[in-house]
Structure 1
């Protein structure tokens, strides 16, 4: 990874012929986090924790100064760049160690019901507090143990949770909507659907049920799409049937695949059997692991200057599972380019409706690209007919894929960009992921409203 970053910087120097580059910006995210860590109450920290944080903050200050010096040099020496980037990686590792200690300390405070330590740890809005599991545990403890006392950072998290619930329908429809309450089919019915189902349609993922030779029920799932999906089978009101499988059952199905997923065994051969069942599915998988070392490109033409109207944890709709998304206001018809290599697995550009009302949600045009690690790149609100690719196309980073628009639930023309997988807790909802993005200004890890970037 270090060699790749060095090559990127050297390539920028050669391609753009600039006298200097803002190397100092690479350490800015670390500096913001260091400022927050300095605000932690030192009385709640152990001696070793204090030393780790002090070393990290000191290192960030020194590295930031080094970056500013390098930015002023017309031609920094390669060995100086290598040392600088090595220091950045070391600081990132130290930051992760600190956050792991923080998560452990917060968990201990909750388990031991140490309200004082809990308040000290959560009074500063650190990044781990936004992680779904940590956030849920912290909110539950806060609401139970602080009925009359307010902690500002946790009030913010509670508001996030409320907004997430209110905007759940928006998330489902804007990001690989979950198709639910689908009827289990007979195999004869599936044969007919198989001939007419379109990619991405509700019935492009099917479950059939047939009576087995022993009198039980066998369920078989089939995915008619080119991409992987997560399928959840709900079985209830079982009579004279049993299974050793935990229900509801959630599984991943790869593209164009079919397999037996569940068998209900008959208990008494002399009695009749009965059950009620339904299923749902969502594009993607909860089991994939995002390559956090990958550096994405801005989805725009080289040299394009863009602004962020809503970044990570944005005030409008980027909350909860959809927190890690970016909105870029753009003129209608702006060319959109792939931020990463992949295969096109979703395209919808037939709509020509958009507006600031929930009634427009179903009309968002989009392109979805599956990456080699199984995550999905989502490009939303495209113009009618605004695609340069089709399902099944292999695309490379920097390739033209679409044109921006103003379709769906939107107040103005813009591009909504995110990278997602299926939420491993619900198994039914998409979950956006934080990513690194290469820009002329540096590698961006926490885009915010008002930020300006230049595409490389």
Structure 2
């Protein structure tokens, strides 16, 4: 609903004073791209009871596309027709969500009942829910259990997608040194000495200490010296005669430059001895962040410039799975890069001058990472050597200069890789990209694809 209202306001503003043509039919493009898969789905026997719902959606997309084309070609916009057009778009979007839910439920039922015929019919249709990490993992697990000969090309493609994502995630973790695990719990007296030598992003930039209590238990306190939020985990291999105050393993968010009590162990019996063995880990970012979905991100380039997309959401090469929601903009080396959203600089690297198409170059990417007010991270990658214009801890406003584009790291050519991410709340250690809204002169973009061209507003 918020997106439709924003679209309505922007479109009416453009109608009132725009000199450039208005391409209204592009608003139905995301639904049109789903129509081919839904057409396939409508032919499957298992979907026969819901065939009318699917057919109504397909018919609605065709009709709405025609109306959008008529609006784009009109010399004057009939506001009543436009209002009806946007209402139809909203209803079609709700129908698409219902179809996705129906698809997920039907697929779950097929796997629960070991109905291989229905399973094969459903996974042969590449609807968006099939690429959700949890659903994809469940599909692959069912497939590996019930298809020892690996005979389904559609699921084999999902396996490849998952493998690529896992490699990409591990690379991000290795490259950014974002995750540390199996760290030792400190004594309270050790914290001061460790803190003096802790560098931003280093292993001990997040410290956990334990202090005995008068009742025979322990209180655990975490301190994060980094300027950014981290998600910390703590668990116990041994816990004798002690009861934890929180469910284990414990995952907790620690804001930047803060310390907080995270856990208490209470003694169960005063008659018996106590013992524990524990470790903790942390990852940059918050798994508990709630993205501000109505925020309109600026294209990260100079106002008035034209850019196009070489790889968009669910791209052909690296934008898959948890990494699906990212955008690549091919721009010449040295192109100024601006903040798409205000926040605090929490990561920056500009020393590298190497780039290439093999995995060995991953560690050489230059970048800037911005933490936003909602706990998400804005990621700007492949900057040129010496091409970072900000410092860690610096506050930046929307539109401020961050640096200059380049071709460093794992890159097939000069471009800027841009994404917004949080910590995946399932694994609690992987980065997970989020879909966002991009503000352009052509209107709000919610589904950037390869070949799209935009003008920076």
TM (norm. structure 1) is 0.90
In 1: Cα distance, 2:295 partner to 2:44 partner = 35
Unaligned stretches of 5+ in structure 1? Answer: none
Alignment of 1:117-266 (within 5 A): 117-148=118-149, 150-173=151-174, 177-243=178-244, 245-266=246-267
Per-residue deviation, residues 219-249 of structure 1 (Å, max 9, x unmatched): 1111223432210113213445443543322
SS at match of 2:234: strand
In 2: Cα distance, 1:158 partner to 1:15 partner = 50
In 1: Cα distance, 2:69 partner to 2:326 partner = 29
Q: Does 1:451 align with 2:452?
A: yes
The residue that corresponds to 1:327 in the other structure is 328
User: Is the CA contact 2:368–2:379 (under 8 Å) kept in the aligned structure 1?
Assistant: yes
User: Is the CA contact 1:346–1:391 (under 8 Å) kept in the aligned structure 2?
Assistant: yes
Superposition deviation, residue 85 in structure 1: 2.0
SS at match of 2:248: coil
In 2: Cα distance, 1:402 partner to 1:84 partner = 41
Superposition deviation, residue 45 in structure 1: 1.6
Superposition deviation, residue 403 in structure 1: 1.7
In 2: Cα distance, 1:62 partner to 1:101 partner = 23
Alignment of 1:311-390 (within 5 A): 311-340=312-341, 342-356=342-356, 357-390=358-391
User: Is the CA contact 1:25–1:441 (under 8 Å) kept in the aligned structure 2?
Assistant: no
In 1: Cα distance, 2:363 partner to 2:182 partner = 18
**Residues 350 and 398 of structure 1: CA distance in aligned 2, closer, same or farther (over 3 Å):** closer
Superposition deviation, residue 13 in structure 1: 5.4
**Residues 358 and 438 of structure 1: CA distance in aligned 2, closer, same or farther (over 3 Å):** same
In 2: Cα distance, 1:227 partner to 1:246 partner = 25
**Residues 14 and 354 of structure 1: CA distance in aligned 2, closer, same or farther (over 3 Å):** farther
Runs of 4+ in 1 over 6 A off after TM superposition: none
Per-residue deviation, residues 291-312 of structure 1 (Å, max 9, x unmatched): 3344433222233222323322
Moved more, 293-302 or 85-94: 293-302
Superposition deviation, residue 392 in structure 1: 4.6
The residue that corresponds to 1:5 in the other structure is 7
SS at match of 2:291: coil
**Residues 220 and 395 of structure 1: CA distance in aligned 2, closer, same or farther (over 3 Å):** same
Superposition deviation, residue 89 in structure 1: 1.6
Unaligned stretches of 5+ in structure 2? Answer: none
In 1: Cα distance, 2:397 partner to 2:83 partner = 28
Alignment size in residue pairs: 453
SS at match of 1:285: coil
SS at match of 2:108: helix
Instruction: Provide the alpha-carbon RMSD of the alignment.
Output: 2.6
In 2: Cα distance, 1:82 partner to 1:370 partner = 37
User: Is the CA contact 2:225–2:257 (under 8 Å) kept in the aligned structure 1?
Assistant: yes
SS at match of 1:5: helix
Moved more, 93-102 or 407-416: 407-416
In 1: Cα distance, 2:120 partner to 2:12 partner = 46
**Residues 176 and 109 of structure 1: CA distance in aligned 2, closer, same or farther (over 3 Å):** farther
Superposition deviation, residue 364 in structure 1: 2.6
SS at match of 2:280: strand
In 2: Cα distance, 1:10 partner to 1:203 partner = 53
In 2: Cα distance, 1:452 partner to 1:29 partner = 16
Moved more, 84-93 or 269-278: 269-278
User: Is the CA contact 2:345–2:396 (under 8 Å) kept in the aligned structure 1?
Assistant: no
Superposition deviation, residue 22 in structure 1: 1.3
Superposition deviation, residue 422 in structure 1: 0.8
Per-residue deviation, residues 172-203 of structure 1 (Å, max 9, x unmatched): 24567222232322222222343454444432
In 2: Cα distance, 1:352 partner to 1:148 partner = 45
In 1: Cα distance, 2:174 partner to 2:451 partner = 27
In 2: Cα distance, 1:146 partner to 1:443 partner = 44
The residue that corresponds to 2:47 in the other structure is 45
User: Is the CA contact 1:44–1:117 (under 8 Å) kept in the aligned structure 2?
Assistant: yes
Alignment of 1:92-111 (within 5 A): 92-111=93-112
The residue that corresponds to 1:62 in the other structure is 63
Per-residue deviation, residues 266-297 of structure 1 (Å, max 9, x unmatched): 45657654433222111222222323344433
Superposition deviation, residue 128 in structure 1: 0.5
Per-residue deviation, residues 6-47 of structure 1 (Å, max 9, x unmatched): 2323444567521x2211111111011012101113421243
**Residues 173 and 78 of structure 1: CA distance in aligned 2, closer, same or farther (over 3 Å):** farther
Superposition deviation, residue 92 in structure 1: 1.0
TM (norm. structure 2) is 0.90
